[in-house]
Amino acid sequence: KAGVTQTPRYLIKTRGQQVTLSCSPISGHRSVSWYQQTPGQGLQFLFEYFSETQRNKGNFPGRFSGRQFSNSRSEMNVSTLELGDSALYLCASSLVGTGPSLDGYTFGSGTRLTVV
Amino acid sequence: SQQGEEDPQALSIQEGENATMNCSYKTSINNLQWYRQNSGRGLVHLILIRSNEREKHSGRLRVTLDTSKKSSSLLITASRAADTASYFCATGIIQGAQKLVFGQGTRLTINP
Q: What DSSP letter does each residue of A55-87 carry, written as one string? A: EEE-S--TTEEEEE-TTS-EEEEE-S--GGG-E
- Give the Cα separation of A60 and B51 in Å (integer): 29
pLDDT the model gives residue B30: 84
- Per-chain mean pLDDT for chain B: 91
Compare CB distances from A104 to B40, B48, B88 and report the shortest one's residue: B48
Count chain A–chain B contacts defined by CB atoms under 8 A: 71
Low-confidence residues of chain A, pLDDT below 70? 1, 96-103
Largest Cα–Cα distance in chain B? Answer: 46
Contacts of A92 in chain B (CB under 8 A): 43, 100
Residue type, A85: D
Whether pLDDT at B1 is above 50: no
Instruction: Evaluate the omega torsion of the peptide bond into residue A39 and state whether it is cis, within 30 degrees of 0.
Output: no
pLDDT the model gives residue B39: 84
A99 to chain B, any CB pair closer than 8 A? The answer is yes
Distance from CA of A42 to the nearest CA of B (A): 6
Find all residues with CB under 8 Å of B98, minimum gap 6, and list them.
Answer: A31, A48, A55, A56, A94, A97, A98, A102, B92
Q: State mean pLDDT over B85-105.
A: 84
Contacts of A43 in chain B (CB under 8 A): 88, 90, 102
Distances (CA, A) of A75 to A8, A23, A28, A71, B57: 11, 6, 17, 12, 36
| A19, A36 contact by CB (below 8 A) | no
Q: State mean pLDDT over B31-45.
A: 90
pLDDT the model gives residue A100: 45
pLDDT the model gives residue A98: 53
pLDDT the model gives residue B42: 87
Contacts of B97 in chain A (CB under 8 A): 48, 50, 55-56, 97-98
| B101, B27 contact by CB (below 8 A) | no
pLDDT single digits (tens) B41-92: 889 999 999 999 999 999 999 999 999 999 999 999 999 999 999 999 998 8
